[in-house]
Structure 1
């Protein structure tokens, strides 16, 4: 008998950029999207702009397992992207791993 099946992990990262640097951050992330989206267990990795707040971006992610999310954070290409982003950010990203309070049937 196999163990319990875990639901995918939903992750939201709020990214505050230095004033006027959102386009540079989008460009850096775009350079790495194909590689990140090809990672085992990556179900979603999308970057959004916040309306009426030019200096805030939000990354919405979904990972198949905790191990996939952990591997993403340890991947060389993710570390390289993070290093490129470091000078563009006003603060460290606020990363939240979500768990559903209510699930809706689809």
Structure 2
């Protein structure tokens, strides 16, 4: 598989009454995911009940392992009934432009 880093943006929108539940489940997953091999970045952000994970994985193999990791299964199990819509997960390709030091995520 490719040895290039893989960037993922995963967005979850909580039902209004479930914002705290979704936040807590996301925060619980972070510690375990940070221990996964190849996890360069797994950062949670929030705005108005929408939670966004910005992720960077060392390569496709690391992302594949993450997709089947216990922390991910537990997270989706915990938040599934609390989401207002299905998760929106995007796998991104870097667009090279501008200052390389400011134009890309760094490990």
TM-score bucket of the superposed structures, by smaller chain: 0.7 to 0.9
Matched, 1:75 2:69: yes
The answer for the alignment partner of 1:34 in structure 2 is 31
TM-score computed with the length of structure 2 as normaliser = 0.84
Matched, 1:88 2:77: no
Please point out which of 43, 49, 65 is paired with 2:59.
65
Name the CA distance, whole Å, in 2 between partners of 1:55 and 1:105. 33
Report the alpha carbon displacement of residue 25 of structure 1 after superposing the two structures with TM.
1.0
RMSD: 1.7
Name the CA distance, whole Å, in 2 between partners of 1:49 and 1:70. 25
Q: Residue 92 of structure 1: SS of its match in structure 2?
A: coil
Structure 2 unaligned segments of length 5 or more: list them.
102-107
- Higher-Rg structure is 1
Structure 1 unaligned segments of length 5 or more: list them.
none
After superposing on structure 2, the runs of 4+ consecutive aligned residues of structure 1 that deviate more than 6 Å are none
Report the alpha carbon displacement of residue 22 of structure 1 after superposing the two structures with TM.
2.0
The answer for the alignment partner of 1:56 in structure 2 is 50
Does structure 2 retain, via aligned residues, the 8 Å contact 1:20–1:55? no
Deviations 1:19-54 (A, max 9, x none): 13222211111112111100000011111012xxx1
TM-score computed with the length of structure 1 as normaliser = 0.84
